[in-house]
């Protein structure tokens, strides 16, 4: 439980630090601060997809419904985080390059990643049989996981991109952040990852309860157990 | 003899020959893929009308037509087994690896056959001149290998899922996307004599085909067996 309070502290401290500690960047000004939200969101997206692929392997090994459920939940969080990274990137692109979307290799490939995981959910919806759905979607998330590195790593390096590469390490291989800024960045990476873990836990529990109710045939009672608003 | 290499090849070829014979009798996949390609090409050249188009757009159109034609036909090999109820006897009589690579080869032959017909027609109808034939043939071959490697497993997924039609394109296209950009770039080089050829792209295309084939081969038993 304690680490959930830590998320609150880290997030609050990080947001205050982001807007006070680093000086505005010389060329693009305050827009550079988006870095502290964009990069952790992208990292969370990447980690969630890796987790989804690992749960896919676990499912194919032991055929436990829990592994399939966790793969789906991880992919869901990954998709959300990647959408956040894409949108924050587009805002940054508007400020620095003048347009939200200009088919930079990074933007093209992140769209491909989003499409792969959208297709994963399309497959899950299309297959009615529980076991077949689990098996086929585990296979698909692994194919996606094998192909996604081409999108994440290979293509953006093949074509010249405007995406900043020297925010952390300069072209000479030197670490460019001062210590307080580096600590802020580390705090935001940790805060986003922990937030992802918490979301994962919550969504996993909600899905498990839904499955148990479905199995009991008590699904119709579900609306009454959830308090209506207001 | 399971395990020895020669029997492996024999089993793969047996599955391939069975598929080719079934295809010769029904012309199920061939009709779907060839007619789709022909109508798409006709629609494209109708809409463009006379007049040359720049090499970049030519390359884009070329691969879009080929991608969607492939997506219309490459699922048939597995879907047909599921529809006619022959999948069970195939599972009993052939090893998983033989089925996967037999279907893989069948799809490759189908796609290369389509290209023998589509490429000359495309070049004639759209007034395209290929400046570098060896590079062009190489990139078409590598592109076909990549497409077949990725779609064979997805076709098995579709057939097992019992859902056909649009879902195949939905599942296969995002997986094929990493191919599209390098393919279009290299094909563009082939149409324009003056630009430099990218060997980096060819490496990426070959790596994609290898990765997709290995992943497909490893995951195929999980799709094929319950």
- The DSSP result for A24-84, as a single string, is PBTTTBGGGGGHHHHHHHHHHHHHHHHHHHHHHHHHHHH--HHHHHHHHHHHHHHHHHHHH
- Within-domain flag for A25: no
**Does a structural domain hold residue A23?**
no
**Structural domains of chain A, count:** 1
A29 DSSP β-pair partners: A25
Q: How far apart are CA B95 and CA B104, in angstroms?
A: 14
Chain A residue with minimal CA distance to B209?
Answer: A147
Residue ranges of the domains in chain B?
A: 5-224
Contact criterion met (CB < 8 Å) for B163 and A127:
yes
Query: Do A155 and B167 lie within an 8 Å CB cutoff?
Result: no
Alpha-carbon distance B184 to B60, whole Å? 6
**Residue A44 falls inside a structural domain:** yes
Half-sphere exposure of B208 (CA within 13 A, CB side): 35
Instruction: Search chain B and give the residue with CA nearest A149.
Output: B178
| DSSP tag of A154 | I
| Record: contact B171-A123, CB cut-off 8 A | yes
Domain carrying residue A109: 7-18+30-159+175-225
What ipTM did this prediction achieve?
0.89
Nearest CB to B163; choose among A109, A116, A126: A126
| Contacts with A98 (C-beta within 8 Å, 6 or more apart), sequence order | none
**A77, A67, A82: which is closest to A137 by C-alpha?**
A67
Does any CB of chain A come closer than 8 Å to the CB of residue B204?
Answer: yes
Averaged pLDDT for residues A138-165? 84
Residue at A68 is within a domain: yes
Considering only CB atoms, A154 lies closest to which of B171, B204, B219, namely: B204
DSSP A219: G
> Is the per-residue pLDDT at A221 higher than 70?
no
Per CB-CB distance under 8 Å, the chain A contacts of B178 are 109, 112, 147, 150-151, 154-155
CB pairs under 8 A between A and B: 92
Cβ-based burial of A66 (10 A; exposed 0-12, middle 13-18, buried ≥19): middle
User: DSSP code of A212?
Assistant: H
pLDDT of residue A222: 53
Of A76-85, B56-65, B70-79, B94-103, the poorest mean pLDDT is in B70-79
Q: What is the mean predicted confidence (pLDDT) over A191-214? A: 91
- pLDDT tens digits, one per residue of B173-184: 999 999 998 899
Nearest to B178 among A112, A135, A143 (CB): A112
In a domain, A201, yes or no: yes
């Amino acid at each position: 439980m304690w680490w959930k309070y830590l998320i609150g502290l880290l997030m609050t401290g990080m947001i205050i630090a982001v807007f006070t500690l680093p000086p505005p960047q010389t060329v693009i000004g305050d827009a550079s601060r988006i870095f502290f939200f964009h990069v952790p969101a992208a990292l969370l997206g990447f980690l969630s997809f890796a987790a989804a692929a690992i749960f896919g392997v676990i499912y194919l090994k032991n055929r436990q419904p829990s592994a399939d459920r966790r793969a789906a939940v991880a992919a869901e969080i990954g998709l959300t985080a990647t959408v956040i990274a894409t949108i924050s990137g587009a805002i940054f692109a508007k400020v620095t390059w003048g347009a939200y979307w200009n088919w930079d290799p990074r933007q093209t490939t992140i769209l491909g990643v989003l499409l792969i995981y959208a297709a994963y959910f399309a497959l899950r919806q299309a297959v009615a049989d529980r076991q077949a759905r689990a098996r086929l979607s585990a296979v698909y998330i692994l194919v996606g996981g094998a192909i996604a590195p081409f999108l994440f790593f290979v293509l953006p390096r093949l074509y010249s991109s405007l995406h900043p590469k020297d925010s952390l390490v300069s072209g000479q291989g030197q670490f460019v952040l001062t210590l307080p800024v580096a600590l802020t960045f580390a705090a935001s990476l940790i805060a986003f990852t922990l937030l992802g873990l918490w979301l994962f836990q919550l969504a996993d529990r909600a899905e498990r309860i839904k499955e148990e109710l479905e199995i009991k045939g008590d699904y119709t009672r579900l609306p009454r157990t959830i308090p209506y608003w207001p | 003899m399971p395990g020895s290499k020669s029997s492996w090849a024999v089993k793969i070829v047996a599955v391939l020959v069975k598929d080719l014979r079934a295809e010769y009798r029904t012309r199920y996949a061939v009709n779907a893929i060839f007619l789709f390609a022909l109508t798409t090409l006709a629609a494209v050249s109708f809409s463009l009308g006379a007049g040359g188009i720049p090499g970049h757009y030519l390359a884009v159109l070329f691969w879009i037509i080929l991608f969607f034609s492939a997506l219309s036909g490459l699922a048939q090999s597995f879907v047909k087994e599921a529809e006619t109820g022959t999948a069970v006897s195939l599972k009993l009589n052939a090893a998983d690896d033989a089925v996967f690579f037999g279907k893989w080869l069948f799809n490759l032959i189908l796609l290369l056959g389509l290209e023998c017909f589509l490429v000359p027609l495309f070049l004639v109808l759209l007034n395209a001149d290929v400046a570098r034939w060896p590079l062009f043939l190489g990139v078409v071959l590598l592109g076909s290998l990549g497409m077949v490697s990725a779609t064979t497993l997805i076709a098995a997924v579709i057939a097992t899922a019992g859902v056909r039609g649009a879902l195949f394109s939905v599942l296969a296209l995002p997986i094929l996307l990493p191919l599209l950009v390098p393919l279009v770039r290299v094909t563009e080089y082939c149409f324009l004599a003056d630009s430099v050829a990218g060997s980096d792209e060819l490496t990426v295309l070959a790596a994609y085909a290898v990765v997709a084939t290995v992943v497909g081969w490893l995951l195929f038993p999980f799709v094929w067996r319950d």
